[in-house]
Chains A and B, each alone.
Chain A
Amino acid sequence: MTSLTLSDPRPSPPLKTRRVMPGFGLTMGITLVYLSLIVLIPLAGVFFKASGLGWDGFWHAISTPRVFNALKLSFGAAFFAAVFNAVFGLLVAWVFVRYEFFGKRVLDAAIDLPFALPTAVAGIALTALYSGNGWIGQFLEPLGIKVAFTPIGVVVALMFIGLPFVVRTVQPVLEEAEKELEEAAAVLGATRFQTAVRVILPTIAPSLLTGFALAFARGVGEYGSVIFIAGNLPMVSEIAPLLIIIKLEEFDYRGATAVAAAMLIISFVMLLAINLLQGWSRKK
């Protein structure tokens, strides 16, 4: 052991300077500069501005009934749409992965339509479909269900926007699920339903939760597809992002910033909670 300590008296150079791959300084430099200029500094501006309001100013700006209702609608509608998407997204992913039927490949590609279709286009198309004389609205109207220009319309638009998030997170997990697990359950005497509930669902639950979170987060901030179908009635069907725009148009920068900051904070807290939940379920 002593000989070891005696040999090699030179300190080895710090690891940092010994990179095999070239270009770290250049690419990291580009990344950090661009990221800071485009994203970090402007985003920090929101919080800087919001903190300029002080706690009282901030609370004053967001505690009006109109802001409160807008936030409630944005988060509530996004939540219901995400729940709905979790159910139907799971169904669609299941059908795509497990069954063969005519037109499957085309439909599989069409799942990404809400990603590819500009939100404004989706918005006016959904409005045309669900308004009182639209293709779908004309059947719902007599039943007393008004979709367009009500909070239900907001949920419908967010369902459209959020669907691919769930399908595309659950699909690969279902594809890779070991079929031995289901066979093992069957051999042990479980019915197909018991297998689905006790074996398959717990296996894909983390990905389902991720898909839910993604759809939810997207729904909270969504603007383009919602404003056409929502009707934008203050206190009733006015979403938070629209309120930001209205306040900006009134040159109420402080009010707009306060709403934006509130949205960012609530989203952040909810995503944190979902992440914790996921970490907890993964540990099991």
Chain B
Amino acid sequence: MQIQIRGIQKTFGSFQALGGVDLDIESGELIALLGPSGSGKTTLLRTIAGLEFADSGRILFGGEDAAPLPVRERRVGFVFQHYALFKHMTVFENVAFGLRVRERKDRPDNDKIKAKVLELLDLVQLSGLDKRYPSQLSGGQKQRVALARALAIEPRVLLLDEPFGALDAKVRKDLRRWLRSLHDKTGYTTIFVTHDQEEALELADRVVVMNKGRIEQVGSTDEVYEHPATPFVFDFLGGVNVLPGTARGQNIDVLGVDVPLPCGIHEHTGPVDVYVRPGDLRVGDPAQPGFEAEIISVQRTGPIVRWDVHAKALDQRLEVEIPHLHHDVSRHAPGQIVRLRLNQYSVFARIPPPGAKSGSTLPDTKLIGRERERGRLG
């Protein structure tokens, strides 16, 4: 089912939860709504389901306006963050609920309901647990019951609100892969909400990054990670260092180093911010262009070694990430001076007011281009 969202606005009191959202979702797509809490992603999902009502704008299900449809006639499958299983019903009755509450003329007979429920429980790999009560299930099992229950009404679209939010890390990973394969098998149009970028990138066909009630960027996982459209997306997906610079013609002066302005971009003059991910700062040859920084601390977080460095020219702390097997790791220790170069970066023009420059609050910037260092190693 194709879904079109047009100009959806929603305020709660004085808080604007959604400020004009447009989005097209293709049939059979698996889409992630990604953003920090308060970004409006859950509100958008609930509005699509019919659990919230937009102040203005419209939602089309396969071209048909969904607004006059009450939630119980929309045929959406909704999986709640905390499962919302009916505790007084068995797994079987939970899954059968959507069929049992149909009007008599549409209601399948008991045998059909039974067959359908058992088939769904088989699909979510819970065969044999149909007589259990929700309190007797693990978190991951509850989540799958909730999914089977949502699928029982053969929904036109499947909506999942933070589907793995309440699970521990290991289960979350397994369930994520399982859900991806289930989606490939069943082909339901699926939208899920998450604040976990890793989850969004691993699971979704396309990612919708949201912030403050607006969509910042829509794109494939590669696009949003490799080509962030806004400073927010840059920061939210993977963290970022922001270096102030000045553009002069074809070059930018960053910390006294000239780096080329991204190719294909017109000349630009004036203050800019250069965005570089911690992993895109590399230790350079002392002879090559670069800037000097002192290593303050070294921290190992699993497969990545993280340096806290102090850039002298800027009097600013920067973060550097290096793969743990990289030869740089063993060569450097706190207190050492290293020469850093920019491996890959984006440049945003800084629009007044000046002074606003730190990583997360970047309202008045405009992407003017991005560049990879020439001759960079893979």
A touches B (Cβ under 8 A)? yes
* Segment at the B interface, from A52-60, A71-79, A180-188: A180-188
Decide if B82 is an interface residue (CB 8 Å cutoff): yes
Task: Tell me whether B84 and A188 are in contact (CB under 8 A).
Answer: no
Decide if B87 is an interface residue (CB 8 Å cutoff): yes
**Quick one: closest B residue to A189, CB to CB?**
B72
Decide if B76 is an interface residue (CB 8 Å cutoff): yes
- Across the interface, which residues of A come within 8 angstroms of B133, CB to CB? 284
- Chain B interface residue count, Cβ-Cβ cutoff 8 angstroms: 27
Task: Tell me whether A187 and B51 are in contact (CB under 8 A).
Answer: yes
Task: List B residues 48-80 near A (Cβ within 8 Å).
Answer: 49-51, 71-78, 80
Q: Which 8 A-B pairs have the closest CB atoms?
A: A188-B98, A180-B84, A202-B88, A190-B101, A184-B84, A187-B78, A189-B72, A180-B80
Task: Tell me whether B72 and A187 are in contact (CB under 8 A).
Answer: yes
- The CA of A189 and the CA of B107, in the complex, are separated in Å by 12
**Of B72, B87, B102, B149, the contact of A186 (CB 8 Å cutoff):** B72
Given known contacts A183-B78, A188-B149, A203 and B88 CB-to-CB distance under 8 angstroms: yes
Interface range, A side? 10 to 19
Bitwise, A162-195 to B at CB < 8 A (1) or not (0) is 0000000000000000101101111111110010
Decide if B225 is an interface residue (CB 8 Å cutoff): no
Decide if A199 is an interface residue (CB 8 Å cutoff): yes
Q: Residues on B close to A: CB < 8 A?
A: 49-51, 71-78, 80, 82, 84, 86-89, 97-98, 101-102, 133, 149-150, 152-153
8 contacts between A and B (CB under 8 A): A180-B84, A183-B51, A183-B71, A184-B80, A187-B49, A191-B101, A202-B86, A202-B88
A132 shortest CB reach to chain B, Å: 48
**Quick one: closest A residue to B161, CB to CB?**
A180
**Quick one: closest A residue to B159, CB to CB?**
A187
Decide if A198 is an interface residue (CB 8 Å cutoff): yes
Task: Tell me whether B73 and A187 are in contact (CB under 8 A).
Answer: no
- Across the interface, which residues of B come within 8 angstroms of A198, CB to CB? 86, 97, 101
Task: List A residues 183-218 near B (Cβ within 8 Å).
Answer: 183-191, 194, 198-199, 202-203, 205
**Quick one: closest A residue to B49, CB to CB?**
A187
**Quick one: closest A residue to B46, CB to CB?**
A183
Bitwise, A259-284 to B at CB < 8 A (1) or not (0) is 00000000000000000000000001
A66 shortest CB reach to chain B, Å: 45
B222 shortest CB reach to chain A, Å: 33
Task: List A residues 131-157 near B (Cβ within 8 Å).
Answer: none
